[in-house]
Structure 1
């Protein structure tokens, strides 16, 4: 795999490569091709370099005797950002960094799998940044993002779609889902909209009144 980027007027989302389970090279290559800025978190740089990927930013707290200076030559030019704050995860600090640069959208890979606590934290942190950063988390089986109050997108029939509330979500209305929602409420831990799917080729619409609702486009 090679470097990036082919970009269109810097309109494409940045890319963060975290340190969870790796995704297939095809997915990573597609994201790299269109990313104007690639950020890798902490010691994941070792895994990234094994794939012959060129990155722009190496960011992290660099604990556990990790020496980022070793990569200045191997990844030249690279910007190294030390973020020692232990009250935030490296992924949160990467989000903060993008916001400081007025970047408004980011794709994230290698943020799921491995440790369950990291996976849950990374997914639910989408909510924390709802007003400042459009975050999409991707792996080989899922694409996860926060829904606006009104959402429409064309899908082929039988596409698996899960609606996962973070907390309590009210007034959910849907069209073109096999299990329709008609003013329903969903609550994490009690009732979710997992394992629904698209009824037929066409537009799926989802609206909700209050709360934070994640959409997960999933494949087996």
Structure 2
């Protein structure tokens, strides 16, 4: 399975994943600055993309000449930098993408990133990681392993019907979750393996670190 790694301009990660797990590594223009400050190995980057609306890209051009990564300008203001970066990665043949920096910072960015993930969920397997949890949309039948004692939250988007779970402290049995009425936050995995299935709608899972 070919995997890509993308950094976007939210809260910087406290630690980086194993870069050897990825065949392609990219960042948006806003994320480039915290990567540089955190001494990320810039030679590992394949490309930087963005509209460079908050600054010139002189520094990126200089670093690209030194480290060999590509600069891709994406001026379309009808899509976010995150959305455009995902489309570039898809065009390069990757449909499994881990994303860091999608939350924290300005919360409209976070909600916008979730909206993009929802829009593209049938085209790409997106998994988000921050300093507190991982989160992603899950299929109608889903099992996750190695989660004993971790926090598990289930968020309908905006509705998920006839949910059944196994392995959670507070299980659901043929129950509905509806945004604005009932959600499934702050549950606990009692087993190493948790399974979830549901009939209709969409479900976003958060798994604590």
1:1-220 alignment runs, 5 A limit: 11-25=1-15, 28-30=16-18, 32-50=19-37, 51-54=39-42, 55-67=45-57, 68-75=60-67, 77-199=68-190, 201-219=191-209
**Aligned partners of 1:110, 1:157: CA distance in 2, in Å?**
26
Question: How far has the Cα of 1:157 moved from its partner?
Answer: 3.0
Q: List 4+ stretches of structure 1 deviating above 4 A.
A: none
Question: How far has the Cα of 1:173 moved from its partner?
Answer: 0.7
Contact 2:147 2:194 in 1 (8 A): no
Aligned partner of residue 144 in structure 1, secondary structure: strand
**Aligned partners of 1:52, 1:126: CA distance in 2, in Å?**
26
Q: 1:54-109 deviations in whole A, cap 9, x for unaligned? A: 2110100112332242332232x111111000011100001111121221110000
Q: Which runs of 5+ in 2 are unaligned?
A: none
Q: 1:151-196 deviations in whole A, cap 9, x for unaligned? A: 1122343221000111111110111111111111111222111001
Contact 2:159 2:179 in 1 (8 A): yes
Distance change in 2, residues 1:156/1:168 (3 Å): closer
Q: Which runs of 5+ in 1 are unaligned?
A: 1-10
Q: How many equivalent pairs are there? A: 204
Contact 1:124 1:166 in 2 (8 A): no
Q: 1:9-49 deviations in whole A, cap 9, x for unaligned? A: xx342000111111112xx142x231111111013222212
**Aligned-residue CA RMSD (Å):** 1.5
Q: TM-score, normalised by structure 2?
A: 0.91
Contact 1:12 1:34 in 2 (8 A): no
